[in-house]
Chains A and B, each alone.
Chain A
Amino acid sequence: MEKSHQDEFTRLRSSQASLEYLLIVALTFAIIVPTAYLFYNYSKELGHEAIDAQMTQIGRSIIDTAEVIFYSGQSSKTVLDLNIPDNVGSAVIIDGRELAFNITTSFGTSEIVFFSSVNITTLSSNCDANICKIPELASSGFKKVKIETSKNSISIEVI
C-alpha cells in the first residue's frame, strides 16, 4: 500500500515536470517564431536594396570608365575589378548606348539600365544585330572587366 502511494507520487511529479517543460518550450517557440518571421522579412527587403545598390555602382563604374577611356584617345585601356552579386539574369548592350542588367527579385524581374554617351560594344561573336550579350557579367563572383578603345567605340569584355 505504501509502495503504491510512492509510485503515484513519483508519477504525479514527473507529469508536472513534463507539463512545465512543455509550457516553457511552447513559450520559447511563441517568442522565437514571430521574431524569426519579422527578421526574415526585414532582411529579405534589405537584400534587394543591397543588390540594387551594388548593381548601380557596377553599371555606373563601367559607363563612367568607358567615357573616360573614350576621351583619353586611341590605345587607352583599363581593367576594372567588379564583384557581381547573385540574381543577375543577363547583361546586354543595346544599340551601342544602353548597358542593361536583368535583376531578379521576389517581386519580379527588373532591368537596371545605364546610358552611355559614347558608343559601347563587346566581342563581336556575342553580338546579334543591335544586341550584344556579355554572359560573364550575368554570373556572380569577382570579374575583371577590360575596357579599351576599339575604332570608334569602347569595347567592354570580361577577361
Chain B
Amino acid sequence: MRKSQAALEYLSTYAWALVVIAITVGALYTFDVFDFGKYLPQKCIFPSQFKCLDFSLKPSEIKAKLVNNLGEDVCVAFVAVTNDASSPLACDFTPEGEGSCAPGEFEWIHGAEKEFAFTNCVNGGYLADSRAEAKISFSYYSLKTPSKPFHLVNGKINGKVTSG
C-alpha cells in the first residue's frame, strides 16, 4: 500500500511538470519557434564579380539586382532559377536589352547594374510568408574573346517570401 502511494505521489508531482513542459513545447512549436532556419539572416550570395546588391522574394516573383564587376562587357544567356526541392522551383525569365548579343541573350556592360526578374514562379516550396531558397544560374561570354567561351555563374538567395 505504501509502495503504491509513493509511486502515485511521485507521478503526481512530476506529471504536472511534464504536462506543463509538453504544453509549453507544443505552444512554442505552434508559433514556429523551432523553425531555426528563420533565425538565419536573409542572404543573396553571388561571386564578387557579380555582386548582389538587392533582392526581393514575392509570391510568384523573384528579383535580384546584380552588378557586373568583371571589368568587361559580356553577353548573358541561359538564365535559370531552381532549388533543391523534390519538385524544384521554376520561373519564367525574359531577357531584355539584346545589344550586340545573339537573340535570347542580353548585353551587360561592365560596371552596370542589372535586375534579374523571374516571374510565374511555381513549385519548390515557394509559398507566401515562408522561408524559401532560390538558386540562380546564368552563363556569359566576353564580346572581346575570339572563341566566345561560356562561363557559368551560380548564386543563391535565401529569404522570406513577403506578400506585401
Contact = CB atoms under 8 A, between A and B. Distances in A.
B149 A98 contact: yes
A108 B48 contact: no
28 contacts: A8-B2, A15-B10, A19-B14, A41-B40, A42-B40, A42-B41, A48-B45, A49-B45, A53-B48, A94-B147, A94-B149, A95-B147, A98-B145, A98-B149, A100-B149, A100-B151, A103-B47, A105-B154, A107-B45, A108-B135, A108-B137, A110-B152, A110-B153, A112-B47, A113-B49, A115-B70, A115-B72, A130-B147
B145 A97 contact: yes
Given A45-B45, A108-B135, A115-B145, 18 more contacts: A8-B2, A8-B3, A19-B14, A38-B39, A38-B40, A45-B43, A52-B47, A94-B145, A94-B149, A95-B146, A97-B144, A97-B145, A107-B135, A109-B152, A112-B47, A113-B151, A115-B70, A115-B71
Contacts of B3: 8
A12 B6 contact: yes
Contacts of B40: 38, 41-42
Interface of B: 2-3, 6, 10, 14, 34, 36, 39-41, 43, 45, 47-49, 70-72, 135, 137, 142, 144-147, 149, 151-156
Contacts of A15: 10
Closest 5 CB pairs of A and B: A108-B154, A111-B151, A107-B156, A34-B36, A115-B72
A12 B71 CA distance: 75
